[in-house]
Amino acid sequence: MKDLQNNAIKVLNNNWKDKFSIPCEKLYPFQWFWDSGLIAIGFAHFDMPKAEKEIETLLDAQWSNGFIPHIIFHTESDSYFPGPDFHRSDLHPQSSKKYKSTGMTQPPVTGFVLQDLYRISKDKKATLKFIESVIDKVYKNHEYFYSQRDPKNEGLVYIYHNWESGTDNSPIWDDIWDTMNPPEYTFERRDTTHVDAAQRPSKREYDHYLHIIEIAKQNNYNDQKIAELSPFLVQDPLFNAVLLKSNQSLIDLYSIIGNNEDKIKQLQKWQKKGTESINSKLYDSELGVYVHYDLRNEKLLKHVSSSSFSPLFANLPSKDVANKMVDVMMEKFGNPDQYLCASFDPTSERFNPKKYWRGPVWVNLNWMLYHGLKQNGFNDLAKRMKKDTIEIIEKNGFYEYFDSRKEEHNNGKAGYGGHNFSWSAALLIDLLND
């Protein structure tokens, strides 16, 4: 295990670019929002200054309305499409003048990441001082979400693009692609020059992705216009669970810091409303898990994915609901011939164990589910989640995602996508030290 941990440290140090980390070479040459947060958790175990710098750089790219972009383009790189000239963040009047970025966001992990840094720190006083210097920016990011992304005032925020979900090409989105018919764009993909196309989204999927961005750009990334016009408008259980988890972390941290009663009260209000709404609107008692709600077409997208279990991470389900969720996890994802936890229902005909978010196991989701299971008292299953996560990395290396079928792992070639992938390394370090 010592070697594994040392190799993970090497991966993180190699992907460190002076003030932020890339997820991996070639495929992802910039800073990504949720990657950045999860990477900081890994650094916190052996190099706290880097963990802090990572977060500081991310927050330095925040827009004046509180928005944090999903990619910050620190450098010019032609190994990635679509780059800064396509995204054109400058169209938004409040975008950063210092950094080019995308005009979309990603699951807001920063709040809970700050609490993880505090948990891991050996010098709590110094870490608290750092947290004090950045926490208001994270609060402002939450304020952005609740004021700009919740048109019906439900305490649930929407995402307007599949890339905002983090689960980019999940089969869940197929239901939405069926409602759209975008033009066939001409563009040069770069991802498929680095990674086997069989493991990446299709050309037609990219047409959809670009089309949604075109509509947002035509409206200068104005949130109200996007809510009105975007063909993709979804309340995502993972995104909202992460936001609620981060709310709670901000409440806890502000309580330790003291003198922030107003902010704590506001966070508690968001927390109460969000928890009630996610439980009443996104929990589907028929399936026994949380699902996505398509706000544009006003319907539930009834599919079971790893995101369906993420509310456990934020301690949102009641005991009965949590029991039911775990039954579903065991029944659909927990066969002994499968590693936990496939990103999409292995019993569905849309399941594809090699293709990005259509089936493979992801370390970030496993890490969240591990904590969710443990916090809710499902200790045996939590142990299996942790063991499986360590084992797939041990057998294959620090890949971006992994085949869920155990038989595929016999030759050490069941890791897919990017190699020497930062969050796989970062969260492995955290699991090994848990």
Nearest CA to 146 out of 217, 65, 238 is that of 65
- Report CA-CA distances (Å) from 395 to 282, 354, 400: 36, 16, 14
**What does the alpha-carbon distance between residue 6 and residue 8 come to, in Å, rounded to a whole number?**
5
Minimum Å gap between C-beta 131 and ligand DGY is 27
Minimum Å gap between C-beta 237 and ligand DGY is 19
- Report CA-CA distances (Å) from 236 to 157, 241, 369, 389: 8, 8, 16, 24
Minimum Å gap between C-beta 304 and ligand DGY is 22
Output phi, psi for 429, to 5 deg: -60, -45
Spot the catalytic one: 116, 388, 400, 430. 400
**What does the alpha-carbon distance between residue 303 and residue 363 come to, in Å, rounded to a whole number?**
21
Q: Please tell me whether residue 163 binds ligand DGY under the rule CB under 6 A.
A: yes
- Report CA-CA distances (Å) from 18 to 8, 15, 58, 156, 350: 18, 10, 13, 36, 41
Minimum Å gap between C-beta 288 and ligand DGY is 29
Q: Which positions ≥6 away from 432 have C-beta within 8 Å?
A: 1, 4, 5, 390
Strands 401-402 and 292-294 turn out to be unpaired
> Is 47 in the active site?
no
Q: Please tell me whether residue 423 binds ligand DGY under the rule CB under 6 A.
A: no
Nearer to ligand DGY, 37 or 311 (CB): 37
Minimum Å gap between C-beta 206 and ligand DGY is 9
The residue sitting closest to ligand DGY, measured at its beta carbon, is 163
Nearer to ligand DGY, 132 or 168 (CB): 168
Nearer to ligand DGY, 70 or 405 (CB): 70
> Is 25 in the active site?
no
Minimum Å gap between C-beta 90 and ligand DGY is 19
Nearer to ligand DGY, 115 or 165 (CB): 165
Q: Please tell me whether residue 362 binds ligand DGY under the rule CB under 6 A.
A: no
Burial class (CB in 10 A: 0-12, 13-18, 19+), 159: buried
Spot the catalytic one: 168, 174, 175, 408. 168
Nearer to ligand DGY, 30 or 254 (CB): 30
Binding mask 116-155 for ligand DGY (x = CB under 6 A): ----------------------------------------
Nearer to ligand DGY, 28 or 144 (CB): 28
**What does the alpha-carbon distance between residue 49 and residue 367 come to, in Å, rounded to a whole number?**
23
Minimum Å gap between C-beta 163 and ligand DGY is 4
Binding mask 190-229 for ligand DGY (x = CB under 6 A): -x--------------------------------------
Q: Which positions ≥6 away from 276 have C-beta within 8 Å?
A: 155
Nearer to ligand DGY, 87 or 386 (CB): 87
Q: Residues 79, 22: contact at Cβ < 8 Å?
A: no
**What does the alpha-carbon distance between residue 175 and residue 190 come to, in Å, rounded to a whole number?**
26
- Report CA-CA distances (Å) from 317 to 33, 142, 160, 372, 385: 27, 22, 26, 10, 19
Which alpha helices (DSSP H) does 361-406 contain, by range?
A: 363-375, 379-396
Minimum Å gap between C-beta 16 and ligand DGY is 20
How many residues bind ligand DGY (CB under 6 A)? The answer is 4
Query: In the set 60, 90, 132, 168, which binds ligand DGY (CB under 6 A)?
Result: 168
Structure tokens at 304: 């079971």
Nearest CA to 37 out of 271, 310, 246, 309 is that of 246
Write the DSSP string, 62-84: --TTS---SEEE-S--TTSSS-H
Nearer to ligand DGY, 150 or 191 (CB): 191
Nearest CA to 289 out of 327, 335, 242 is that of 327
Task: Please list the active-site residues.
Answer: 168, 400
Binding site for ligand DGY (CB under 6 A): 70, 163, 168, 191
